[in-house]
């Protein structure tokens, strides 16, 4: 049950990050957006991996890429000097 809730929370975090961009509340190139997406992806990854089936491979791959892109985004934002957005 915990993994189900974790997956739902992860999905909600990713949707929240997207909604905050649409509402002009955060910068899509900022740290906040990347961190939200990274944690959302991580929660989804853990949820998927906890009950892994070969059919979940695509979802796992998407979440790993999602997390890697988020990490890259945080690093790039910090290099540009964007701390708070």
Flag whether 35 is in a domain: yes
Flag whether 42 is in a domain: yes
Flag whether 30 is in a domain: yes
In the three-class reduction of DSSP (H, G, I as helix; E, B as strand; rest coil), residue 28 is classed as coil
- Answering whether pTM is above 0.95, one says no
Flag whether 56 is in a domain: yes
The boundaries of the domain holding residue 43 are 2-80
Q: What is the pLDDT along the chain (85 residues), one digit of tens a residue?
A: 999 999 999 999 999 999 999 999 999 999 999 999 999 999 999 999 999 999 899 999 999 999 999 999 999 999 988 665 6
Interatomic CA distance for residues 36 and 15, integer angstroms: 9
Flag whether 85 is in a domain: no
> Which residue from 20, 55, 24, 59 is spatially nearest to 43, judged by alpha carbons?
59
Mapping DSSP onto H, E and C, the string for the chain reads CHHHHHHHHHHHHHHHHHHHHHCCCCCCCCHHHHHHHHHHHHHHHHHHHHCCCHHHHHHHHHHHHHHHHHHHHHHHHHHHCCCCC
Into how many domains does the chain fold?
A: 1
Read off the DSSP letter of residue 51: T
């Amino acid at each position: 049950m915990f993994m189900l809730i974790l997956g739902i929370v992860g999905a909600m975090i990713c949707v929240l990050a997207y909604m905050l961009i649409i509402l002009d509340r955060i910068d899509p190139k900022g740290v906040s957006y990347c961190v939200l997406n990274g944690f959302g992806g991580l929660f989804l990854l853990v949820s998927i991996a906890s009950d892994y089936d070969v059919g979940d491979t695509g979802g796992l791959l998407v979440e790993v890429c999602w997390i890697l892109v988020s990490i890259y985004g945080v690093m790039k934002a910090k290099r540009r000097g964007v701390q708070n957005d």
